[in-house]
Structure 1
Amino acid sequence: MEAKETMAGERPARSAEEAVERLRAALHEAGIILPSLRIDPVTGAHGHPYALVDLGRCNLGVASRLAAALRRPGGGA
C-alpha cells in the first residue's frame, strides 16, 4: 500500500522527529529559524504516536517573515 502524499507531493512524516526535521529544513529554506522548535516533551514522551510539535517562541521579525512565507504562492494551505 502506497503512502498518501501531502499537498507538497511528499509522503507524510512517519515520526515526530522526522516531522520536526522536515519543518526545520523548510523554514531554513525560507530564511526562518525557530530556535525553540522541538517535539513537545509531554506528548512526545515514550514515542506517543500523536506527539505535538512545539514551535516555541519567536520575535516580531521572525513572525513577520513566517507570515510572509505562508502568504507566498504555494506557501500555505
Structure 2
Amino acid sequence: MEKLRAALGRAGVVLPSLGVEATSYTREAGCPLVDLGRCTVDTALRMAVALPRGEAEGAGQR
C-alpha cells in the first residue's frame, strides 16, 4: 500500500482514503485487501493518464 501511495504521489495523484481494508484482517487466508477508496472524477482521470500503457496489463492475473 505504501509503495502504491508513493507511486501515485509521484504522478500527482492523492487518494486520501487509500488504506488496508480492516475487515480483510478477519479472513482466514490472511491476505489483507487494499482499499483504494473513493475519488473525484478528476483524480480518476489523472490516475488513468499516470498509468503507463501496458505496464498494468496482466497484473490482475498473478
Are positions 1:38 and 2:19 aligned together? yes
**Alignment coverage as a number of residue pairs:** 56
Larger RCO, structures 1/2 (Cα 8 Å, 6+ apart): 2
2:35 to 40, 54, 59: 54
Give me the TM-score of the superposition, normalised by structure 2.
0.76
Specify which structure has the higher proportion of helix. Answer: 2
Deviations 1:17-64 (A, max 9, x none): xxx111000000010000000000101359x63110000000011000
Unaligned runs of 5+ in 1: 1-19
Percent sequence identity is 45
TM-score with structure 1 length normalisation?
Answer: 0.62
Show the counterpart of 1:15: none
Runs of 4+ in 1 over 4 A off after TM superposition: none
1:49 aligned partner, one-letter code: G
RMSD of aligned Cα (Å)? 2.0
